[in-house]
Amino acid sequence: MTFVLPKFTPPDFTSEKFANAKEIRVEEVKKNGVAPSGFYLTSHMPTYYHYDNKWILPEHNSQNCVAVLHDDTIIIKELNDLVIGEKVIMGKKSDGSNGVVIYKEGFDESVISTPGRSVETSFTDDYEYLFELMRHEKENGGYIVWVLGPSVVFDYDTRIGLSELAENGYVQALLAGNAMATHDLEGGYLDTALGQNIYTQESVPMGHYNHLDLLNEVRRAGSIDKFIADGNVKDGFMKTLTKLDIPYVLVGSVRDDGPLPEVYHNVSQGLNAMKEQTDKATLIICLATMLHSVATAELASSYRIRKDGTIAPVFMYTIDVTENVVNKVAQAREHIAVKTLVTNVQDFVVNVQRALLQPVDNFEVEQVAVDMHEYVENTAEEKLESVDRLKID
C-alpha cells in the first residue's frame, strides 16, 4: 500500500463567502518593532488574504504574528521584526469583512487532532503513521526537524539511535537548548550525562563536575566543531551532526551553565534562527522539552506549499512522559497536524530506529515462532518423561 500524504483542498473562490469579501486594508509601520493599532493577529489556520482581485495564501504561517503586504504577496512576521514603512494588514476579523478569510475546512479530518489524550491511549496507529511519514519525507526530499530536551541523550541506546537515524537521512536539523548538547558531548567525552554513566546509570565520583569540565574545555577550544575535531568526543548525536554538516540551533535560557559557544542568548536572534529551520520543515518531532516544543509549535507553519504547488500539512509529533506537556504543545498548534504520544522518549527513539533501520524479516519472525513451538513441545515431552521415571522409581 502506497503512503499518501494528506493534501489541503483550496476553497471555492466563487462561493458567496469569498465572492463578496472586501480587499485587505493596510497601514504602514511608524516605529521599528511596533505594529499599527488594530492589526490582524495571525493563526496557524490556513488564511487567505484578498488583494488586487486575488486570494493569496502565504508560503508559511505562524501563530500570534502579523501579516505584511510585500509587493504582490503576503509574508508573516514577528512583531519585533517589523520595519518602518512595511504595510501591515489591519482588522481583527477573519470572515472576509476585512479581506481576510480563515479556511481550515481544506484539511482532511485526519489532520485535525483530538485533545485530551493520555498515557492510557493506544499509540500504535500514531507510530505506524510516523514510520510511513518519515519514509515518505526521506524519499521525497522532505526536511525533518527534531526538537530535543536533555533527557533524550541520557541513555546509551538513544544516542546511538539518533545518530543512526541522522546517518540514514532521517534528520535534517536539530533545535535544542544548551543542556541537550552539553550532556550529549559529556557522554562522548567522559561517558556520563550529568555525572551518571550513560550505560549503567551509576553516578561516578565527583560526577557533578563532569558537565562543567566539558563546558570549560569546549569553551577553551572555542567551538563545538573545534572540540570535536581535536578528537575529544568518541561518539554521540552532536558529533554525528557535525560530521554530516547537519545544522543545529541551540537557544539558551536564564543561567545556562557555560554556556556552549554556539548557544544563542539573544532571544530574538535565537527565534529567527529556529524559524529559518522550521520554515523548511515538512515534519517536526519534539521530544521531552516543553519550552522548546511549545515555541516550535507556535513558530512553525502548519502547512507547506510543495514544489508541485500542492499544499500539504506539516505534521508535528510531540512526545513526553507527561500528559500536560504534549497537551500544551497540541494547544499551541491549535490541534492542526499534531500527534501526541505520552511515553518514555528514550523508548520512542529506539522504537523508531528499529522500525526504520532494522525492519524485522517475516521469515525470521516465522522461524522464531517455529523454534519456540518446538522448544515448548520438547520441554513438555522432557517433563512427561521425568514424571514417568519418577513413577517407575
Are residue 203 and residue 350 in the same domain, yes or no?
A: yes
- How far is CA 90 from its chain centroid? 32
The side-by-side arrangement of strands in the sheet containing 66-70 is: 26-28, 87-89, 66-70, 73-77
Quick: pLDDT tens for 43-54: 999 999 999 999
The stretches of the chain forming alpha helices (DSSP H) are 16-19, 124-139, 156-167, 178-190, 210-221, 224-229, 237-244, 267-278, 290-299, 323-332, 345-357, 362-392
Q: How confident is the model at residue 193 (pLDDT cuts 50, 70, 90)?
A: very high
pLDDT score of 1: 57
pLDDT, tens only, 196-225: 999 888 999 989 899 999 999 999 999 999
Q: Are residues 345 and 259 in the same domain?
A: yes
CA-wise closest residue to 136 among 8, 274, 312, 287 = 312
> Domain range spanning residue 178?
109-357
Report DSSP state, residue 302. Answer: S
**Same domain, yes or no: 93 and 229:** no
- Counting the structural domains of the chain, the total is 2
Residue 99, amino acid: G
Claim to verify: residue 115 and residue 207 sit in the same structural domain:
yes
Grid cell 565520583 in the structure block, residue: 205
Task: List the Cα angle 211/216/221 in 5-degree steps.
Answer: 125
- Residue 368 domain flag: no
pLDDT digits (tens, 9 = 90+) for 249-270: 999 998 899 999 999 999 999 9
CA distance 99 to 93: 9
Whether residues 94 and 113 share a domain: the answer is no
Dihedral, 29, 34, 40, 45 alpha carbons, nearest 10: 120
pLDDT at 113: 82
> Is 365 among the domain residues?
no
Give the three cell numbers for residue 79: 512583531
**Is the same domain home to 84 and 114?**
no
Q: What is the pLDDT of residue 362?
A: 43
Q: Is residue 273 part of a domain?
A: yes
Residue 109: the pLDDT is 85
| CATH code for position 95 | 2.40.420.10
Asked if the model's pLDDT at residue 122 lies above 90, the reply is: no
108/127 Cα distance (integer angstroms): 19
Are residues 253 and 143 part of one domain? yes
Q: Does the residue 313 lie in any domain? A: yes
